[in-house]
Amino acid sequence: MVNRSDVHYFGAGPAPLPTTVLEQASQVLLNYNNKGIGLCEISHRSPEANEILANTKQSLATLLDIPDDYDILFMQSGGTGGFSSTVYNLVSIWVEKKRAKIAEEVGDDKEEVLKRLRKVVDEELKLDYLVTGSWSLKASQEAARLVGAKHVNVAVDARKSNDGKFGSIPPESEWSLTPRKAGGPAFVYFCDNETVDGVEFPSFPASLEGDDAPLVIADMSSNFISRKVDVSKYAVIFGGAQKNIGNTGIAIVILRKSLLPPTSAYASAETLRALNLPVGPIVLDYPTVAKNNSLYNTLPIFDVWVAGQVMAGLVTTYGTKKIGGQEDVSNEKSRLIYETLDKYPDVYRVVPSKAARSRMNICFRVHGGDADKEKAFLAGAEKKGLLGLKGHRSVGGIRASNYNAVSTDGAKLLVTYLDEYAKSA
């Protein structure tokens, strides 16, 4: 029998969870807080569930120093659902702002308002996407599916400067963002860390800052709670939980309260239909989810509890350093692995450019991508208890996902194997 302590799992998601959290989970599944029933069985509207929600929010707010003018939502659509929900909600806000401005000019003539609004939407609605990997590409494609390709501005397609493949982030001077003087885009989207392609933004883009900065949306599914984040620079941060935060089942959204009523008004369903724009499902509607404390429909409280335990553990472990403590550990683990790969250029080739290397998903090829040798590399790793190293099916190769629950000892064992394999190759 293989014990949990015998293996180190580097899978990209669902990813490993802290053993202590899983041990606690096995207990609360049977009997939560001495109630005689398990956590999956209690009502999502019970006092216990509300306490779990509050504690999880507080742990996340503490770790990331989330400002008071932001809200935290728990949704069930995963990171992929975030591709859609951001479009539904922020386009609706943009449309309503334009409608209100036109109504001020023409008064109560609804037909004239709609006529002018159609023209404004047709000519001015733009959603900017920085496409640097497989997930941001999927996000841009979902936006085009929902609102039409003419309204989606791919301001960056990293493949164009990298021989048709992802693996770099072009200089900001080469980005073609919608000009702010022309009203700017409804929002700018980017994926902070590309799980498939091993690309991570080293920092917040300077071109998205400033007093007239656009609304910025970031998908942080695979690098959530792994480094410091200036939340105030983002309108919306979202991500699925199944990488660093918890098990599959919830997505977390951090958004400015100013994007919620009464500060922001949303276009009516009638107006959106008249403009041939999509009306989003109620479970992806930020105002509805926020108003109901993420409990509009049945929230998987067990999944929230797991996420809360993971984050509370980080709060306890790192104290005043907060997420900076985990960032130090993540950086050190990735440094050890990359330095070892770079030491053997005849055996290993790191896929992304050095300036865009992900700390979370370390993608590389063995012997130039030779299929048989990569298969042998993976088999050798498995014998050492190093699991989950196979690259994504769309790109192949090797991928070591360096999430928070991967211990430093696990990273060092991987480094030892990389050394041994290279010297025997």
Same domain membership, residue 290 and residue 362: no
3-class DSSP assignment, residue 292? coil
The candidate with the shortest Cα–Cα distance to 178, out of 142, 148, 146, 154, is 154
Question: What's the pLDDT at 333?
Answer: 98
Q: Is residue 365 within 8 Å of residue 389, measured between CB atoms?
A: no
Is 80 among the domain residues?
yes
Residue 194 lies in a domain: yes
Q: In CATH, what number is assigned to the domain containing residue 344?
A: 3.90.1150.10
- Asked if residue 411 and residue 355 are part of one domain, the reply reads yes
Say which CATH number the domain at 287 has: 3.40.640.10
16: in domain: no
188/282 same-domain check: yes
In a shared domain, residues 137 and 283: yes
Instruction: Supply the DSSP symbol for 386.
Output: E
Query: Do 248 and 339 fall into the same domain?
Result: no
Domain annotation covers residue 202:
yes
Collapsed DSSP state (helix, strand, coil) of residue 153:
strand
pLDDT of residue 182: 77
Same domain flag for 64 and 198 = yes
Same domain? For 114 and 200 the reply is yes
CA distance from start to end of the chain? 31
* DSSP-based three-state secondary structure for 398: strand
Token pair belonging to 124: 């001015």
Rounded Cα–Cα distance for residues 221 and 243 (Å) = 7
Domain count, the chain: 2
pTM score: 0.97
User: Is there a domain that residue 197 lies in?
Assistant: yes
Q: Would 51 be classed as within a structural domain?
A: no
The closest of 283, 69, 92, 82 to 190, measured between CA atoms, is 82
Of 360, 369, 364, which is closest to residue 398 (Cα–Cα)? 364
Task: Answer whether the bond into residue 18 is a cis peptide, omega within 30°.
Answer: no
Q: Which residues of the chain have pLDDT under 50?
A: none
Do 264 and 357 lie in one domain? The reply is no
Do residue 145 and residue 246 come from a single domain?
yes
pLDDT (0 to 100) of residue 183? 86
Final residue of a domain: which of 275, 303, 331? 303
> Chain-centre distance of CA 133, in angstroms?
13
Picking from 255, 270, 303, the residue at the C-terminal end of a domain is 303
262: cis peptide before it, omega within 30°? yes
Average pLDDT, the chain: 97
Per-residue pLDDT tens for 22-67? 999 999 999 999 999 999 999 999 999 999 999 999 999 999 999 9
Asked whether residue 24 is domain-assigned, the answer is no
Tell me the three state secondary structure of residue 36.
Answer: coil
Say yes or no: 232 and 336 in one domain.
no
Which domain range does residue 376 map to? 322-424
State which amino acid sits at residue 294. S
Asked whether residue 34 is assigned to any structural domain, the reply reads: no
Do 148 and 248 lie in a common domain? yes
Q: Do residue 117 and residue 224 come from a single domain?
A: yes
Task: Examine the fold and report which residue of 276, 303, 330 is the final residue of a domain before the chain moves on.
Answer: 303
